[in-house]
Amino acid sequence: MQELLKALPADNRLTASLLFDAMLDHGANGVQTLVRLLDSANANEKTTAHYALDGLAQFCGALPNADARRQTFAAALASSLASARPAVDQAFLISRLSSCPSAEVISSLRMFLHDDALCEAAAMVLQSTADPTAGEALREALAQNSDKNKITLIQALGQIKYSKAAPDLLKSAQDKNTAVKEAALFALAEMGSNEAEAVLHHNALLNDKFAIAWLTFAEACTEAQRAIKIAETILHNREKNWSDHLRTAAMALLVKKTGVAALADLREAAAKEPASLRAAALRLAEPLASDEATQAWLGMLPGLTPEAQADVLALLGRQKATNATTAMRRYLSSAEASVRASALQALTSTLGEASVKDLLGLLKTDPDEIMQQQIRQSLLTLPHEALNQEWDRFYPTLDAPGKNLLLDIAVARRDTLRLAALIEAMRSADPALRQTGLTGLRILAKADAVPACLAQLAKTFASLEVKAVQDCIIDIIKREKNQKPCLQKLEDYFQTANKEEKIKLLRVWRGIGSDAALKPVIAGSQDQALKDEALRTLCDWPSLNGLEPLLQLAESKEQQAYRILAVRAALRILRENPMGDLRQLDYLQRLMKSCERTEEKTMVLSQVGQIKSISALKYAAGFCADEDIGYEAAVATVQTTVPLKGTAAALSPEQAVAGVVQAQATKPLQQKIVETPLFASTENQPPEGFTALFNGKDLCGWKGLVEDPIKRRNMSPEELNRAQIKADEEMRRHWRVIDGVLYFDGKGHSLCTSRDYTDFEMYVDWKIEKWGDSGIYLRGAPQVQIWDTAQWPEGSGGLYNNQKNPSKPLVQADKPVGEWNTFHIIMHDERVTVYLNEVLVVDNVIMENYWERNKPIYRSGQIELQAHNTPLYFRNIFIKELPILEPMFNGPLFNGKDLQGWQVINGQPESWQVADGVLYTTGQGSGWLSTTREFADFKLSLEFRVPADGNSGVFLRSPHHGDPAYTGMEIQVLDDYAEQYARLKPWQYTGSVYGIQAPSQRFSKRAGEWQKMVITCRGPRICVELNGQKAIDTDLVDHMQQSKEHPGIQRRAGYIGLQNHSSKLEYRNIWLEELR
């Protein structure tokens, strides 16, 4: 039982059922063991017992009554009730019996019916048995009991309708305790006992609360006439004025007892009574539909109040009374709005799509606004095809409000068939119809509607309507995937338009906001007639592409008003469009140079203060000595050091102080600080064995890009030299070093190393902005991809231009745009491995030659930082050239004589011995035997012999630190048939990649027999043959979710080893063939 309890709570219902079934195998003793645990002082044991007993009760409750397990559980639980225990635990046990009640438990519960704490629990179980003996036990307990228990017992007797207790309950109905009296009256009512009617009637007249009991009795009694009489007495206010809710209940009882015969009473209630009773009557009448009933309802309609007429019409609509449609149409002309609305809804509900003609016909009757909305709502509930069939016949005949309503419905339904009508409406003299036309075109129209909208724009002069037409054109064009034809239409119109029309079109260009839309605005600023409006449009431009023209406007020293507007607009665009710190600072520096007034300079400095970088700090600090803006510069300087909410500080105190000092220093001192920094920086400092490609100070070691490898190869030395000079000049315009960061402004071409590289390992930190795109060219060929994951969800790091070999990264490992990422790239021969932020994303994949697809990648070439029209940031670019690969090894790893080529790691040297061509471990100590050199891809074959209970393993690609089974990989070697290993996991047996992949089936031999294993490692693919059968064929990429516990599966090279696991193991004929 203890073992079973440990498995609770179960993971699923099936497991729980199996556990409870197993518990019941222990019989009554098992159940009583659980009950005894309720008395435990250990809170956890007690909680577990509660859980198990409750689960057992539910499990047994689902079994058939005759099931022995159910009976055993109930009997064991009932017998345990004789023991003394706290009331709360006793109540818990009693309550569990309600899941599997039986006559056998009744005698065990009698004793609790006089206990104030346990009576309710016991009564509920007895009530659930539905056994006469239980009823008698409840009745007997009524005598000599507390009022609290009496109420519980009476309610239980009423629930099981134990009629033999009626005399006792009649006595209780006279009790001085009102709660006991009330319980008795309702219990008698539920029994439907005839001898109780008089007392129930008497009390009903005294108190409406007991009138409910009287109605309950009427429903329960078997004599229909008696029930009808009681219901009619209450409904028709006989003997007294009964409350509305009692009369509603009486009506419901009449309907239940008499059916259609109750319609007369329902009509009477609907005609004369309050709204609440009328609503109840009509609700009860709804399922009693018939032609005869409809005629009766129609006959009483004229004499009803408008409110009642509306309610009855609604009833007929819900009943879909087709023989009432003539009346419904007649009441469409009612003087009362509520009646008209109800008739309209009833007609629509009854006729469905056939009501469309009626609804459209109503539009010709000049309906008021409320009726129009009702018509609209009704039409929207009907299939649109029905309206389309009648559209052409009705639409031309309608007045403006009618047309407006139908067009509004067409727009709501996204009906593109009505575009011509919308264009016609846009041209209408009716303002409301014009507005609907424009709204509809704005939502539905395509490019072919633009000319009509332009024509409308030309003849529209009211400012609000002009804006509506402009917005319509803007939305139509922005919705088009190919905007070019639309923009050409605008351009053609612009060329022939007069001044006023051109001014109107300027706002359309602004709303579109694209590069193509910006061009005519800039051109307009050169037109003296349009200059003022064009420049104001430019200063209101919403997109980032307007920043450069605004900067040029500010720098051009135009009229002061324009320059101020340009400065403000440029600052607004910079605030609204997040970008890299250096790029933003670059723009702000340009803007500052164009500022003449103190107010403008202050605004620029305020924006500089929002950039949290050393470059911004130094720039702001450089103005602290300015008499006009020194204080504002000081504030901005401090602000650059204050981290944004929820982020860490971007600058250390040392960086901040050094930045201020450098900004305030003389030029000679500034130069000396650049050459010899005030404090050591960790950036751009290569790790051991690596060289910095970027020194953090200048572009030394880099050059501009000249064409592609094929074109460069075909140039003469003189041609190449001239082209290089030109490329370097362009490079220096767009690639700069700012405070240790290599920054590209988004223009120009790629940056290249000044020398070529063959095999290498490199690190590079990179950062992009939104929609950023770049890459690292290896040996002059594209590329290890860099881009924004919002646009390319697969992420960065893939070999984008591969066609035959994998091109996408294994996983997305990018950090958010605006944060630094790190590539670790390894290139051996034609294969590339890439880690992004320490996550493997490209695993030893062949990189294809983009320039010459029929050839392998060039053996050497320059490394390039790709320019792709977006700003870029690089730092910490380090490289380590790798030696040319040694000749491939193919031969014995073990010479059969000694341990030449092997070394013992973390163990005793004497624990490994050689005898008669066999390499073996004595099993003493621990550790492992490793090759003296590393291997990457290979085919390893060996023979081994395992003693009884033996355990060892073959380590692959392991380093010399940590546990090689985890820091590398282990192929398990084991006596699979030993008793002590019988319960191991599948991935722990011979041939498995330990902890990662189990063998397909068991191919191992018995202990003492020689066995053969062949292991092939090629990149991430691992294959193991055991005794001539394929046991493993797996791709480690599919197991990367286990890399946290088994980091070795990410390694692609390392030492091969044999494990000493405290038992004698023998190996021989160990051969290895290295694979490319």
The pLDDT of 125-130, averaged and rounded, is 86
Amino acid code (one letter) for 143: A
613 has a pLDDT exceeding 90: no
- Tokens representing residue 70 in the block: 């159910």
1028 has a pLDDT exceeding 90: yes
pLDDT tens by residue, 229-250: 999 998 888 888 889 899 999 9
pLDDT interval class at 648 (50, 70, 90): low
Number of other CB atoms surrounding residue 404 within 10 Å:
22
If one compares 661 and 27, the residue with the highest pLDDT of the two is 27
Q: Could you write out the DSSP letters of every residue in 366-401?
A: ---HHHHHHHHHHHHHS-HHHHHHHHHHHGGGS-HH
pLDDT tens by residue, 855-896: 999 989 999 999 988 999 999 999 999 987 667 889 999 999
912 has a pLDDT exceeding 70: yes
Using the structure block, give the residue that is written with the tokens 């199996």. Answer: 18
pLDDT confidence of residue 885: 63
Using the structure block, give the residue that is written with the tokens 């507007």. Answer: 565
> pTM of the prediction?
0.61
- Tokens representing residue 520 in the block: 């005519």
The pLDDT of 804-819, averaged and rounded, is 93
Distance CA 1037, CA 841 (A): 10
Is residue 851 helix, strand or coil?
Answer: coil
As a whole number, the mean pLDDT across the chain is: 91
pLDDT confidence of residue 680: 61
pLDDT confidence of residue 454: 94
The pLDDT of 178-186, averaged and rounded, is 93
pLDDT confidence of residue 886: 65
379 has a pLDDT exceeding 90: yes
For residues 38 and 47, is the Cβ–Cβ distance under 8 A?
A: no
739 has a pLDDT exceeding 90: no
Distance CA 572, CA 594 (A): 16
The pLDDT of 829-845, averaged and rounded, is 93
For residues 102 and 129, is the Cβ–Cβ distance under 8 A?
A: yes
For residues 332 and 362, is the Cβ–Cβ distance under 8 A?
A: yes
Most confident listed range (129-143, 208-222, 792-806)? 792-806
Is residue 643 helix, strand or coil?
Answer: coil
Distance CA 714, CA 275 (A): 98
Q: Which domains does the chain have, with CATH numbers?
A: 1-100 (1.25.10), 223-287 (no CATH), 289-395 (1.25.10.10), 691-881 (2.60.120.560), 890-1074 (2.60.120.560)
- Tokens representing residue 170 in the block: 């009649």
Number of other CB atoms surrounding residue 104 within 10 Å:
13
Distance CA 227, CA 1047 (A): 82
The pLDDT of 255-273, averaged and rounded, is 91
For residues 1039 and 996, is the Cβ–Cβ distance under 8 A?
A: yes
Distance CA 1026, CA 1028 (A): 5
The conformation of residue 757, written as its DSSP 8-state character, comes to B
Q: Could you write out the DSSP letters of every residue in 939-952?
A: EEEEEEE--TT-EE
For residues 692 and 709, is the Cβ–Cβ distance under 8 A?
A: no
The pLDDT of 587-592, averaged and rounded, is 93
Distance CA 762, CA 834 (A): 10
Q: Is the peptide bond before 816 cis (omega within 30 degrees of 0)?
A: no
- Tokens representing residue 1053 in the block: 């090279």
pLDDT confidence of residue 646: 64
Distance CA 390, CA 156 (A): 66
The pLDDT of 981-998, averaged and rounded, is 90
835 has a pLDDT exceeding 90: yes
pLDDT interval class at 679 (50, 70, 90): low
pLDDT confidence of residue 647: 64
The pLDDT of 708-719, averaged and rounded, is 91
Distance CA 72, CA 60 (A): 10
340 has a pLDDT exceeding 90: yes
pLDDT confidence of residue 274: 87
For residues 296 and 260, is the Cβ–Cβ distance under 8 A?
A: no
Using the structure block, give the residue that is written with the tokens 């090894």. Answer: 889
Scanning 480-540, the segments in alpha helix (DSSP H) are 484-496, 499-512, 515-524, 531-539
Number of other CB atoms surrounding residue 887 within 10 Å:
6
